[in-house]
Structure 1
Amino acid sequence: MDEDGFTGLESAIILIAFVVVGAVFSHVIISAGMGISDDAGSKVHEGLSRAGSSLVVAGSIYAVDLNDDPKIAEGILVPIRLLPGSDPVDLRMVTINLIGRNTYESIGPNDPLYTPLPTAHYFSIYSPAPPDQDPILCSGDMVTLFIRPMYLSNCKPGHSPTIEIITPGVHPIQIPLKFPASLTRYTRLS
């Protein structure tokens, strides 16, 4: 009879040891899984921030007629904003492409960058101009770009070109436009 009690006690000790060892292993596995999932979550957020454009359109886009000719627009005003949490963007390094039916034009930054009317084939920062004329767009900042293409065949009534804003290291933003049947001095496109 003494041996039955002793065998039961041994079985209980072995069962407790298995439960403790199982708990330790499960804690190690859960901790490792949590560490991996935390790292994966940060990698996913990092990838999404790099894949998506940090620039967004921040209002209405307007076609601008500089010479009161309702048949063609000489410029396009595009308000853009840098999303909060995004890396700063040097607007001197930005390239804008105007893609139309039969033309593809690459438009670079004007010199000086802050001017209400850029030279044809360039873009400028139309507004707002900071006192220090800093070309770095920081997180949350908003500016209006004045895009002045040289080839105006895409800026006619009824045409639907696309503006592509390319920032180094960031996914380009594409903005489809639709010119209405007639133009005024400032015609809202979107």
Structure 2
Amino acid sequence: MRGWRIVKDERGFTGLEAAIVLVAFVVVAAVFSYVMLGAGFFTTQKSKQVVDTGVKQASSSLTLDGQYIYLNCTSDAKGTTGSNGKVGEIYFYITQTAGGVSVDLNKTSLAIASAEGYKQIFYNESATAGTNASWYYECVKGDNDNTVEVNEKYKIVIDLYDSTGSSLWDTIGDLQPNDEITIEVKPPVGAPLTITKQLPPSFTNLTYV
């Protein structure tokens, strides 16, 4: 009687088994692809946030409405006129830039520089016009709150002297004819609005430059 002999034969590997193996490979590849896509989407989102933040920090949300700033040289503003005059008050109008973000003026600072010095002052919510308010704002067009939003217009007033006539800007001196001044409006987010002007050789009650 002849003994049994085990013979290695792969002819029993059926199509069903091949399909199972193929499906397993496909599932593993799909899971791996999903993980890679998820990581890619996350990276793209973070990159977009970084770019958006960079744009907000690099661009200003405020712009000068019109091209002029106005110099009040009347005696009521503690100014004087003529070729030896001095500026008592400066005012100008601002609005939001196209695509800019809203700006909270209560959190905004203002700086002014002349040949004699530089001064930065933060907004004082408790101060009002004529009561030691170094600068203040008035809503010209909008909902009359403290935020500059789309299609709104605000007047910024810089009072160079207080009610007793003492200069609040001792570090920059009196602003006189032919002086050059630079004003910066610095919002809490974004680049400042910078205005540089050469003052005229003589002042009238209201001079614009």
TM-score where L is the length of structure 2:
0.61
Instruction: Answer yes or no: is the 8 Å Cα contact 1:154–1:160 preserved in 2.
Output: no
Per-residue CA deviation, residues 75-99 of structure 1 (Å, 9 max, x unaligned), is 32221224566355143x5432211
In the alignment, which residue of structure 2 is the partner of 1:144? 155
1:178 matched to 2:197? The reply is: yes
Per-residue CA deviation, residues 29-50 of structure 1 (Å, 9 max, x unaligned), is 1122113322432343245435
Where in structure 2 are the equivalents of 1:39-78 lying within 5 Å?
39-50=46-57, 52-64=59-71, 65-66=73-74, 67-71=80-84, 72-78=86-92
2: CA distance between counterparts of 1:17 and 1:121?
75
2: CA distance between counterparts of 1:119 and 1:59?
28
1:161 matched to 2:172? The reply is: no
Matching residue's letter, 2:140: P
In the alignment, which residue of structure 1 is the partner of 2:104? 89
Q: Say if 1:69 and 1:63 are closer, same or farther in 2 by CA, change over 3 A.
A: farther
Instruction: Answer yes or no: is the 8 Å Cα contact 1:163–1:175 preserved in 2.
Output: yes
Instruction: Answer yes or no: is the 8 Å Cα contact 1:90–1:135 preserved in 2.
Output: no
Structure 1 position 25, deviation (Å): 1.1
In the alignment, which residue of structure 2 is the partner of 1:29? 36
Structure 1 position 126, deviation (Å): 5.2
Per-residue CA deviation, residues 77-133 of structure 1 (Å, 9 max, x unaligned), is 221224566355143x543221122222345558425xxxx5677223355287x9x
Instruction: Answer yes or no: is the 8 Å Cα contact 2:103–2:147 preserved in 1.
Output: yes
* Unaligned stretches of 5+ residues in structure 2: 1-8, 75-79, 161-166
2: CA distance between counterparts of 1:183 and 1:126?
28
In the alignment, which residue of structure 2 is the partner of 1:100? 114
Structure 1 position 177, deviation (Å): 1.4
Instruction: Answer yes or no: is the 8 Å Cα contact 2:95–2:148 preserved in 1.
Output: no
1: CA distance between counterparts of 2:141 and 2:17?
83
Structure 1 position 5, deviation (Å): 9.6
In the alignment, which residue of structure 2 is the partner of 1:112? 128
Write 1 or 2 for the structure with the bigger share of helix: 1
RMSD after superposition = 3.9
**Could you tell me the percent identity over the aligned residues?**
25
Matching residue's letter, 2:182: T
SS where residue 67 of structure 2 aligns? coil
SS where residue 161 of structure 1 aligns? strand
* Unaligned stretches of 5+ residues in structure 1: none
